[in-house]
Amino acid sequence: MLFGATWGRQFVPSLRAAWAGTARLSTSRRVGALKTGLVGLPNVGKSSLFNALLGTTQAEAANYPFCTIEPNVGTVLLPDERLDRLAHQQQAQRTVYTTLQYVDIAGLVRDASQGAGLGNQFLANIRECDLVVHVVRVFPDENVTHVEERIDPLADIDIIELELQLADLGQIERLRAKHKNLRLKEPVMHAAAEKLHHGLNSGLPASACELTEEEVAAVRSLGLITLKPMIYAINTEEDQLAEPTGATAELVSALAERGQHGVLVSAKFESELAILPPEDRLLFLEDLGLTPSQTGLGKLVRASYQRLDLLSFFTAGVTEARAWSLQRGAMAPQAAGVIHSDFEKHFIKAEVIAWDQLLEAGGFSQARERGWIRLEGREYAVQDGDVIVFKTAA
């Protein structure tokens, strides 16, 4: 045992791991399996990107629009070098990374809300996502059909955003039609629905409809897509990844001017790369003068994490080294609650050390001797990279 029994029950990774994975989320600060939905026009590379992220060929990716009909769902590990190093130091028997779930759906077209293409009913899969990745085609390959028969990423973005807004407007209209006396029964929801109806009808995304926090919570169950955080995945040629030029660079700056964040990916190339053995992958990248961190996938996963305003904290022992996701700004008891809801209720204290300090010290006991392990209480805001041992009452 690392710590004295007088502290009562404490987190033992091996015993708690199985529970923690299924722990129910009871506060908004808790973070379970986060879902990211891929949206975009048909044939822009959504399924290729999905395959690249998963390192599989699970989703059919081919050069014809509406290749995907049934949604593909897969789980991606968030690689974390800090965790690898902690696991090595602790000689942990296993390493458990945090995960993100990705959902790949059929392409949307202009007038999808009126039933064009495959319609927009499959957006239901995106409503339950926490983050939306909008895949935009910049790659010029003329052998790959573009449904609008031209390459114009900003115009494509406008088509998709309008369709997402119309889908949200449909949700609000259904709500208003279903609950005639919403004003009396659910005044906050009613106020939110009125603002959204007006805003979406004037061409604004739900995120620009100036909802209060309370109103956002009241309409959460509707899963409004334009209320979710969004990232653009700019699907380009592989030689544009390190230093974009031409149309790719223009799109990056146009998005930045709109205050939007774009991540460069090369979906076809990265999906081919992802299924190579790791040694070949590195050689392949070297040939192109790229490092693994310059590929789009790593950047996209990190950007997703940032956009969701998450941080990682770690638990590390002989049986398991594990990364956990937590909403930035959350306090130590809430971090304990991510592992198990009982831990939040019975939280006493947390022993905390930054991951790099623990590595520098050479282990927990050496860190303790140097006085580097801090005792933190309920008011401690957990920092990215903290290694924590929770003390909880039995």
Ligand X SMILES: Nc1ncnc2c1ncn2[C@@H]1O[C@H](COP(=O)(O)OP(=O)(O)OP(=O)(O)O)[C@@H](O)[C@H]1O
Helical ranges in the chain per DSSP H: 13-22, 46-54, 81-90, 124-127, 153-178, 182-185, 187-201, 213-218, 246-257, 267-274, 278-287, 296-307, 332-339, 341-345, 355-361, 364-369
When binding is defined by CB under 6 A, the residue of 20, 39, 52, 61 that contacts ligand X is 61
**Nearest CB to ligand X, comparing residues 11 and 50:** 50
Please choose, from the candidates 385, 356, 298, the residue with its C-alpha nearest in 3D space to the C-alpha of residue 79. Answer: 298
Among positive and negative, which fits the CA dihedral 15, 21, 25, 31?
positive
Using the 8-state DSSP alphabet, how is residue 177 labeled? H
Residue 42 within binding range of ligand X, rule CB under 6 A = yes
Residue 240 within binding range of ligand X, rule CB under 6 A = no
Residue 352 partner contact from ligand X, Mg ion, none using kind-dependent CB cut-offs of 5 to 8 Å: none
Rounded to the nearest whole angstrom, what is the least distance from the CB of residue 106 to Mg ion in the complex?
7
Rounded to the nearest whole angstrom, what is the least distance from the CB of residue 35 to ligand X in the complex?
18
When binding is defined by CB under 6 A, the residue of 10, 36, 68, 325 that contacts ligand X is 68
Residues binding ligand X: number (CB under 6 A): 24
CA distance 44 to 263: 15
When binding is defined by CB under 6 A, the residue of 72, 266, 327, 334 that contacts ligand X is 266
DSSP helix/strand/coil, 290: coil
Q: Is 48 annotated as a binding residue?
A: yes
**Nearest CB to ligand X, comparing residues 62 and 242:** 62
DSSP helix/strand/coil, 347: strand
Residue 268 within binding range of ligand X, rule CB under 6 A = yes
Residue 116 within binding range of ligand X, rule CB under 6 A = no
CA distance 76 to 368: 35
Residues that bind Mg ion (CB under 5 A): 46-47, 67-68
Q: Is 253 annotated as a binding residue?
A: no
Residue 175 within binding range of ligand X, rule CB under 6 A = no
Q: Are 310 and 327 in contact (CB under 8 A)?
A: yes
Residues in touch with ligand X (CB under 6 A): 40, 42-48, 61-63, 65-68, 106-107, 139, 141, 144, 235, 266-268
